Structure 1
Amino acid sequence: MTTPTPRAGLGLLQICLAGVLWGTGGLGVQVIRDHVEMPVLTISAWRMAIAAVVLLVVLVVLRQLPALVALARAHPQRVVLVGCGTAAYQALYFGSVVAVGVSVSTVVSLGLAPVLLTIVESVRRRSAPGLGQVGVLVLALTGLVLVSLAAGAHDPGPHPVLGVLLAVGSGATYAATTAVGRSLTLTTTPLTLTTATTTVGAVALMVCAAFGGSLTVGLDDPTVSLTLVYLGVFTMALAYGLFYAGLRTTPGSAAVVATLLEPVTAAVVAALWLDERLGVAGIAGTALILLAVAGLGRREPEVVSTPVPPG
């Protein structure tokens, strides 16, 4: 086992902090929904809009706006596709949180996306997954089934089946978005890429929320407004900034393991503040999914070099 360099250690810490911040996002949604029936689409729209503004300000301060323009001109289709995909998977995730609860939403989303990426990479290599990879997939799929059954049996949310389906959609959308957008990371800086895709996603969601007539619902409530600022600044702008910065010096395997702090944080937060309980089946399913993701982290970097968070 090699000793990590100081830069690698800093990168790992950055990814760990990003995982913790992502794990608090579900609680923010619940806080908002406890005060006002704000649609999850509106929550997602304001979260991304606030993050986009923060990131654009940072680019202006760092005088990197030309890099943003260059990226948009060089790869407009992929930037739009990745931005809209980012908006879609986050909206699906928040919808899942409202329907089934924080713990199930986070674990299913986080567990499914790396599994799908494994399949995509195997297809691209035109070779069947190895025995270890199959074991990881079996663990993950078994865990998903157990978590789904637990959600229906213990009803931690008003619509458990719908919530699990939304979480699956969130994980699948993020996997597809990551597969399309990975090549963009070779052409620009993480800050520029994050700003570009976040801005596109924010515009898409704001337009959708405006057409739905729900864009200003609940903004007069101070708690709602402050929570939206928290979601935008900390769980989007800062978290993604830390994540992409950490990936520059942290191996993909270590990064995948570090992002497991997200479901751990979400579970702790849900237990402390939301009184959610998964039961025996849910706990077993959670453990299997976490083991599967950890198993993906021990695979070769070329197979899955970019970890996939849902938040």
Structure 2
Amino acid sequence: MGQVPRVHGARLGLVQISLAGVLWGTGGLGVQVVREHVPMSVPTISAWRMAIAAVVLLGALVVLRAGPALGRLLRERPGRVVVVGCGTAAYQGLYFGAVVSAGVTVATVVSLGLAPVLLTLADAVRHRRPPGAGRVLVLLAALTGLVLVSLGAGHGASSTGPQPALGVALAVASGAAYALATALGEPLARSTGPLALTTATTTVGALALLPFLALDAATGGVVTTAEPVPVAVLLYLGVLTMALAYGLLYAGLRTTDGSAAVVATLLEPVTAALVAAVVLDERVGTPGIVGTVLILAAVGGLGRRSPDAGGPLTPRAEPDRVPGLHRP
């Protein structure tokens, strides 16, 4: 009988991770909207996003009296928390830069498609054995998709951005930072509650981005605004696409099999593409469309498991041993 509640918990976790993916997929559009109203730089937007999220999370930590868990995490793994937090900040800054340069769809698909590929390669090196034939096909499909998206980045009715080549390069760097943060964040997620972990890494990321905000202020850049639309969007980015999304992610990974993270990975670019097509009228051309399909298929293939390994909804016997995933 104990298996039934675990299965229900795994399904709930899958829903939580999926909702996180949907929220992440709207982040790029939010950056575009802010910049349409005020000439705020990408690092400044990223700094505000993480700072707002950190304030909200710290408030939740106080209300829920979860301070001891945060203190224990900082005492036991301070170095790893700093690296993961800085990696998260780097990923977001690079991602938003890619959005501005190449558009929402290209930035999201490339950055998100590359990270699972890098993680698969790292896993093969760590275990000292090459991936199976199916995994190799997945990697080839993903790499081919990245090339096609890059080729299609400069085409389309409304253009995918003023500097597509730079945007793709930033998206690749963003994906690499995401993969690094994921690999280093896994041990933290196994033993730390989602609120404490998200609060710690988000606060570190916000502190890491503050110098960029100060630099913008010193050079005459726009770092604050009283306009209601960009203020509302910044609040949305911080509260929903950062604080809530990461909270959902880590809460879901405590009861859901790690392959469920692939669902969030798939829902983010799908959401971004749908939003960009409807709101921004973005087009990436035929090569970009084919590349997008290949990347999505490749990321989906990374979640396939052998019959003896169980399906994506197979619950873990010990929730605290579920590998974590650290995202944008």
**Which TM class, normalised by the smaller chain length?**
over 0.9
Give the distance between the partners of 1:287 and 1:113, measured in 2 at CA: 16
Asked if the contact 1:12/1:246 (under 8 Å) is kept, the reply is yes
Q: Secondary structure of 1:38's partner? A: coil
Which of 132, 154, 160 is matched with 1:130 structurally? 132
Cα-to-partner distance string for 1:34-69 (whole Å, 9 max, x where unaligned): 111110000000000000011111110111112111
What is the distance in 1 between the residues matched to 2:222 and 2:212?
Answer: 13
Distance in structure 2 (CA, Å) of the matches to 1:215 and 1:229: 20
1:272 pairs with 2:278: yes
Q: Superposed, which structure 2 residues align to 1:84-99 within 5 Å?
A: 84-99=86-101
Distance across 1 between alignment mates of 2:127 and 2:277: 42
Q: Deviations over 1:98-141 (max 9, x none)?
A: 00000011101110000000000000001112111110100000
Query: Structure 2 unaligned runs (5+)?
Result: 313-321
Give, in angstroms, the shift of residue 9 of structure 1.
Answer: 1.7
Paired residue type of 1:241: G
**Structure 1 stretches of at least 4 aligned residues deviating more than 6 Å after TM superposition:** none
Q: Quick one: structure 1 residues 146 and 98, their matched pair in 2 at CA, closer, same or farther if it must change by over 3 Å?
A: same
Per-residue displacement from partner, 1:118-169 (whole Å, max 9, x unpaired)? 0000000011121111101000000000000000334410000000000000
Superposed, 1:173-184 pairs within 5 Å as: 173-184=177-188
CA distance in 1 between partners of 2:95 and 2:31 (Å) = 10
CA shift at 1:280, angstroms? 1.3
Identity between Structure 1 and Structure 2 (%): 65
In structure 1, stretches of 5+ residues that fail to align are: none
Match of 2:172 among 165, 168, 180: 168
**2:162 equivalent in structure 1:** 158
Counterpart contact for 2:14–2:260, Cα < 8 Å: yes
CA distance in structure 1 between the aligned counterparts of 2:262 and 2:302, rounded to whole angstroms: 8
2:264 maps to 1:233: no
1:238 CA displacement: 0.4
- CA apart distance, 1:16: 1.2
**Conserved 8 A contact 1:174-1:308:** no
Of the three residues 247, 265, 273, the one matched with 2:253 is 247
Instruction: Report matched runs for 1:13-32 at 5 Å.
Output: 13-32=15-34
AA at the equivalent of 1:33:
R
Paired AA for residue 271 in structure 1: A
**Which residues in structure 2 correspond to 1:31-42 (within 5 Å)?**
31-42=33-44
How many pairs were matched up?
309
Q: Which amino acid counterpart does residue 74 of structure 1 have in structure 2?
A: E
Which range moved further: 256-265 or 78-87? 256-265
Query: Is 1:202 aligned with 2:210?
Result: no
Change (3 A) 1:215 1:73: farther
Judge conservation of contact 1:12–1:250 (CA < 8 Å) in 2. Answer: yes
Tell me the SS of whatever aligns to 1:212.
Answer: helix
Mapped to 2, the partners of 1:308 and 1:139 lie a distance apart of: 23
Secondary structure in structure 2 of the residue aligned to 1:250 = coil
- Please, which of 215, 221, 241 is the counterpart of residue 227 of structure 2? 221
Partner of 1:281: 287
Q: Give the Å deviation of 1:215.
A: 7.4
Q: Quick check: 246-255 or 137-146, which moved more?
A: 246-255
In the TM superposition, what is the alpha-carbon distance from 1:255 to its structure 2 partner? 2.9
Q: What is aligned with 1:69? A: 71
Query: Structure 2 length as normaliser, TM-score?
Result: 0.89
In the aligned structure 1, how far is the partner of 2:257 from the partner of 2:221? Answer: 40
Deviations along 1:239-288, one digit per CA (max 9) or x if unpaired, are 11111111112112233134311111101100111010122111110000
The Cα shift of 1:295 comes to: 0.5
Contact 1:110 1:310 in 2 (8 A): no
Is 1:104 aligned with 2:126? Answer: no
Structure 2 letter corresponding to 1:211: L
Structure-2 separation of matches of 1:279 and 1:238: 34
Q: Give 1:261's match in structure 2, choosing from 245, 254, 267.
A: 267
In structure 1, which of residues 55, 64, 75 is the aligned counterpart of residue 57 of structure 2?
55
Aligned to 1:191: 195
Conserved? CA contact 1:142–1:288, under 8 Å: yes
Once the two structures are TM-superposed, the CA of residue 308 in structure 1 deviates from its matched residue by: 5.4
Instruction: Provide the secondary structure at the position in 2 that maps to 1:153.
Output: coil
Corresponding residue SS for 1:298 = coil
